[in-house]
Copies of this chain bind each other. A is one copy, B any other.
Amino acid sequence: LTVSRPPCHQLFYAEPDHIESGLIHFSREETSHMVSSLRLKAGESITATDGRGRLIEAELREAERGRAVAEVLCVEEVPPPDVMLTLYQGLIRPQRMDLIVEKCVELGINRLVPLVSERALERGTEARLKRWRKIAIEAMKQSLRPHLPAIEPATAFGDALRDVAGLDLALVAHQEEEGGAGLEAADVRIGKGTIGLFIGPEGGFSDAEIRVLAERGARLFGMGGARLKSETAAIAAVAIIRRLLD
């Protein structure tokens, strides 16, 4: 059996280890959303995902305050996208970082590495990481995608640098390139593989950081003539890259 896609206008999430023996046990939050906000009742059909590519058609067996359990009816395995896109994002102010997580997950990143680069505004805390992961789940549900992007802990620039060699394509947004090549010229249509997109914090990457990224083979690109805020550059670049890959 396969689930028709888009199967519904509402996608629910359950962690993989909360799905067993044909039953889905929803978290307290998801239960509250189902029962209190949407007023779903036992017997109703829902669609859920484990965030690992499974779209699950299920029927609610229990739907009470604090407890929602559904029976799995059928499962479709959705393959991951051909091109896995990781955003390496220099850390910026909390509200604007939250915006990046929400919008870039909607627009189709597969992994986010918050970067502690030279001009990053902060180091990233455990609480922030938890918050980003929550935002990512909501954005995944919003966009009806069954793959939950990995949100990594804040990572030192030097450590992220080690990823570059393993990427099929590394791209760096660079203000100085404004008269230069845009994303089209960067030839992002790699067909299948991994792309890493590096976006600096406010103030951008330092000259030394740009130099070492370029030395490792990353391609610099400009975002047109205007000066963009860091979060605007990230959202716009992800939108354009996903569009070029489609």
Contact = CB atoms under 8 A, between A and B. Distances in A.
A214 interface: no
Contacts of A145: 226
B107 A236 contact: yes
A239 B229 contact: no
A6 B227 contact: yes
Contacts of A99: 99
Interface in A143-191: 143-145, 182-184
A74 B199 CA distance: 35
B103 A143 contact: no
Interface string A92-127: 000000010001001110000000000000000000
A142 interface: yes
Contact of A142 (B143, B229, B236): B229
Q: Give the dominant DSSP class at A's interface.
A: loop
Contacts of A240: 239-240, 243
Interface in A67-108: 99, 103, 106-108
Interface string A220-246: 000010111100100110011011001
Interface residues of A, number: 27
Given A103-B235, A107-B236, A232-B107, A242 B227 contact: no
A143 B226 contact: yes
Contacts of A232: 103, 106-107
B184 A226 contact: no
Given A145-B226, A226-B106, A239 B236 contact: yes
A120 B103 CA distance: 21
Contacts of A242: 224
19 contacts: A6-B227, A99-B99, A106-B228, A106-B232, A107-B226, A107-B228, A107-B232, A108-B226, A142-B229, A143-B226, A143-B228, A183-B243, A224-B242, A224-B246, A235-B239, A236-B243, A239-B239, A239-B240, A240-B240
Q: Which 7 A-B pairs have the closest CB atoms?
A: A236-B239, A143-B226, A144-B227, A239-B239, A106-B232, A240-B243, A143-B227
